[in-house]
Amino acid sequence: MRETLTIYHNPACTKSRETLALIRSRGHEPRVIEYLKTPPSETELTAIVRKLGIKPLELVRRNEQVFKDKYAGKTLADKEWIKALVANPILIQRPIVVRGEEAAIGRPPEDVERLLR
């Protein structure tokens, strides 16, 4: 049995919609989490970052106003970035697709292809 695909989705985001459509076009029906309505917990986000193989700072959307207002120019520890992302989910890069112990950011959507096999 294949592991469930989960997409952390923002329906207002073009890349997120394109990634969801790509997943469905490959015959998958993922679990869809609208992360702005249901943000991941610190534990969940820590696991996602580990699966992505990146530092929490690499998951931050730096063009968002909340980043510019609260975090620009600051140096935070990994755990502090996780807390910031959970408190301000608009800062989380999107979409994120998770399958088992692997994850990918759908920017571009084709980056999630390896999870669809």
Q: Tell me, what DSSP letter sits at residue 40?
A: P
Give the active site residues. Answer: 13
| DSSP state letters, the chain | -PPPEEEEE-TT-HHHHHHHHHHHHTT---EEEETTTSPPPHHHHHHHHHHHTS-GGGGB-TTSHHHHHHTTT----HHHHHHHHHH-GGGB-S-EEEETTEEEE-SSGGGGGGGG-
Question: Which residue in this structure is represented by tokens 């084709």?
Answer: 110
